[in-house]
Chain A
């Protein structure tokens, strides 16, 4: 198995650079995750509940011999739980927590596509009128005339 650490792109992208993202449907929202973060996308596997863990990291799964935590973004964004469907996937991300690469799975109700978003479409995050913690969001952008959230995974998981 390839254990190499994925080189993260610096946070500040050149203004005209397109960002490659994968579009995930979670609850009613669409999230765009930088493909640099994504290690793989797998079919659902049996999950093991971890008693005493924080609600947004309720369980662990076995991904190719590694036991990794499974994050539930719905908890962080205050969305109701949904039943798993044939479209449900686990997106395995590698993010940096305190400088160490950490693998984490995210449950997605649907994986739409891999695409590019342009900085030109970036909408400023409204300070008011949003029921989400602004810390969890890098920015909001538009994709197929829909608003999509580019989440700050490090903040969401720490």
Chain B
């Protein structure tokens, strides 16, 4: 493994910051007065600017700086962020992202246009300036100063971290006229001087009405590596001509306070800063994470998988011996392997909230483009899912959300006519349900038009006219390739490709899709997904000579095939407490050798709403199955979704229950046709 490309590290880091920035901006659209959000956005911007400059993304640093400057007025509370401003800010964010990810595909003209928009919005006229003082009194009066006396001491090794004190002093100079005195007391003699150390200290007299925060911002990246003493200048000291003219604001009430208690006032900001640090600490703890490359996690998972297999073999051997100490060690290793497996799996789990965050922008943009006001609600962001699944879920969810807004949510007029609130609602939720995760996308739109879907399916020859079908089954046609009931094809949807993608992606993850709809009240699409792609709980069964795994999540119950059922050779239906369940004899399906066991067992397995009985020779027990995908050369094999390795080192195939159900239904239909004939 080679060292990481620093630019790549920056890109990764920036990508996370963009998510933060975008989230904050979108939230700001809803709660424009939330100061926290503005600060969060600002912090993200500031970090992007800082690290961008550090890694040589100069265009990024320059643009972000401009963006930040414009946005600063929002932060100071001079401007309330409105939808227009948020939209421009989002565009600016996208532009910065483009600058980082594909600089050649973008142009500075775009950036200039965005900045022009931004400035137009944040600096309309004097009106804003006159509003400023209104916001001002909220700020503690002590904070407003005509100047600051600073004493700056950096840690001696500050230069090694890539910080340049000179740049910081220059930044300070931007706040207002500075009088800088370098203190050379600590500079050693030349032969002792380490050129990589910084021995200088500075006293700075800053004539500016800026707030203490502005000064702290200059040193934001080095604040842990320096000592900053910051005292307000007594007003008398402030040379009047140096005070910028546009800052006459609220000097008078302030004037009395500091003049006499300059000494008094000084400790206060200092204490405030301590508090700020205190408050930051729990945050740091929460973010105590390590970035690990995905491949390394995958490799680790592979190794753990092999360990689990080896451990299973050891346990098998140990159970055959009488040696107590070997048994003890085998048990110990079993326990360790199991906890190692759980920990490793846990490391691959990511809260789904990171994914939901991305859709807020999508909903925001779609709602604007389509002119349908939509509220976006997410719940269960903490629900954890395997990292690779989160990635693979992104596309299907985009399609579902687009569909929900484009086709599901009605226009404002129609909604009003139907007596509904004019704001549509898209709800996306995640919950754990046993060994599955349910992700639902719910809208409060018009609901699915079952009759129209049916008509379309008949028109395309997918079903015979007049065939009896449940609504649930009819809705499944929505996921058929090329199926669309949209009369017009819009830029967003209607080509009938999206839902097909959804279905294929979800099925590839061994998940399933349920739809439920209430006419006039909206549609709910539920994605049922396994927790992880790497290991499943399986039921180990034997058919003839071969052993197979059925995913335990698909198993509903196990029973003995009664003699009566056995006798009815002609029919492959089973009466399960009043329900007719078709069953498949796996012996026949797999063309197995050997005698069938006298007492055949039946396993009722389900996928979605449909159930099927699988007749097997023996149910051996549960098995932790490390999933190994089948080779590309076996891509034509449909009955199995993968393989695993058993305790004795041999491979066992994992049954694809959804496929078997399809096979079973095919057989059942054939039989019905035969009986009808």
Q: Which A residue sits closest to B305, measured CB to CB?
A: A65
Min CB gap B118→A, angstroms: 47
Contact of A130 with B by CB under 8 A? no
Stretch of A8-16, A66-74, A119-127, A133-141 at the chain-chain interface: A66-74
Contact A45 B630 (CB under 8 A): no
Q: State whether A60 touches B630 (Cβ < 8 A).
A: yes
Candidates B590, B633, B653; contact of A102 at CB < 8 Å: B633
Cβ of B631 and Cβ of A103 under 8 Å apart?
Answer: yes
**Which residues from chain A contact B632 at a C-beta distance below 8 Å?**
97-98, 100, 102
Given A50-B637, A51-B591: A66 and B648 interface contact (C-beta under 8 Å): no
Partner of B631, one of A52, A65, A68, A98: A68
What is the CB-to-nearest-CB distance from A91 to chain B, in angstroms, rounded to a whole number?
A: 15
Least Cβ–Cβ distance between B312 and chain A, in angstroms: 12
In the assembly, what is the distance between CA of A64 and CA of B589, in Å? 30
Per-residue interface assignment for chain B, residues 275 to 288, with 1 indicating a CB less than 8 Å from any chain A CB and 0 otherwise? 00000000000000
Number of A-B contacts (CB under 8 A): 77
Given A57-B633, A57-B634, A157-B633, verify A48-B306 contact (CB < 8 Å). Answer: no
A54-B636 contact given A48-B650, A65-B305, A67-B628, CB 8 Å threshold: yes
CB-contacts of B625-675 with A (<8 A): 628, 630-634, 636-640, 643-645, 648-653
Any A CB within 8 A of the CB of B330: no
B652 touches A48 (CB 8 A): yes
Q: Does A49 reach chain B (CB closer than 8 Å)?
A: yes
Chain A residues whose CB sits within 8 angstroms of the CB of B645 once the complex forms: 62, 65, 67
CB pair B643 A97 closer than 8 Å: no
Distance A61 CA – B646 CA, assembled complex (angstroms): 11
The B interface, classified by DSSP as helix, strand, loop or mixed, is: mixed
Q: Separation in Å of the B598 CB from the closest CB of chain A?
A: 23
Closest chain-A Cβ to B623's Cβ sits at a distance in Å of 14
Contact with B along A25-42 (1 / 0, CB 8 A): 000000000000000000
Please tell me if B519 contacts chain A, counting CB pairs below 8 Å: no
Q: Is B302 an interface residue (CB 8 A)?
A: yes
Q: For the complex, what is the distance from the CA of A50 to the CA of B591, rounded to whole Å?
A: 10
Instruction: Across the interface, name the chain B residue whose C-beta is closest to A49.
Output: B546
CB-CB under 8 A for A51 and B651, given A67-B643, A67-B645, A104-B633: no
State the CA gap A14–B662 with chains docked (Å): 53
Q: Kindly list chain B residues whose C-beta atoms are within 8 Å of the C-beta of A45.
A: 649-650
Q: Is A129's CB within 8 Å of the partner chain B?
A: no
| Residues of A in contact, count (CB < 8 Å) | 29
Q: A48-B643, A62-B645 are in contact. Are A53 and B634 (CB under 8 A)?
A: yes
Contacts of B639 in A (CB 8 A): 51-52
Tell yes or no: A80 within 8 A of B by CB. Answer: no
Supposing A65-B302, A65-B305, A67-B645 touch, asked if A48 and B633 sit within 8 A by C-beta, the answer is: no
In the complex, A46 has a CB within 8 A of chain B: yes
Query: Do B651 and A61 touch (CB < 8 A)?
Result: yes
Contact call B634/A46, Cβ cutoff below 8 A:
no
Determine the chain B residues whose CB is within 8 A of the CB of A100 once the complex forms. Answer: 632
Q: Does B607 contact A (CB under 8 A)?
A: no
Q: Is the CB of B637 within 8 A of A62?
A: no
CA distance A135 to B431 in the complex (A): 54
The smallest beta-carbon distance between A110 and chain B, in angstroms, is: 24
Report the bound CA distance from A61 to B636 in whole Å.
18
Given contacts A48-B653, A65-B302, A67-B651, contact A60 B643 (CB under 8 A): yes
For B635, the closest partner residue in chain A by CB is A97
Residue of B nearest to A103 (CB): B631
Asked if A48 and B546 make an inter-chain contact with CB atoms under 8 angstroms apart, the answer reads yes
**B309 at interface (Cβ–Cβ under 8 A)?**
yes
Q: Which residues of chain B are within 8 angstroms of A50 by Cβ–Cβ distance?
A: 634, 637, 640, 653
Q: Are A46's CB and B648's CB within 8 A?
A: yes
Complex: A40 Cα to B85 Cα, angstroms = 64
CB distance from B660 to the nearest CB of A (A): 11
Cα distance A102–B635 in the bound complex, in angstroms = 12
Set of chain B residues within 8 Å of A46, measured between Cβ atoms? 648-650
A67: which B residues are within 8 A, CB to CB?
A: 628, 630-631, 643-645, 651
In the assembled complex, 5 residue pairs joining A and B whose CB atoms fall closer than 8 Å, in A order, are A47-B650, A48-B546, A48-B651, A51-B589, A67-B631
Binding site for B on A (CB under 8 A): 45-54, 57, 60-62, 64-69, 71, 97-98, 100, 102-104, 157-158
Chain B positions within 8 Å of A, measured between CB atoms, are 302, 305-306, 309, 546, 589-591, 628, 630-634, 636-640, 643-645, 648-653
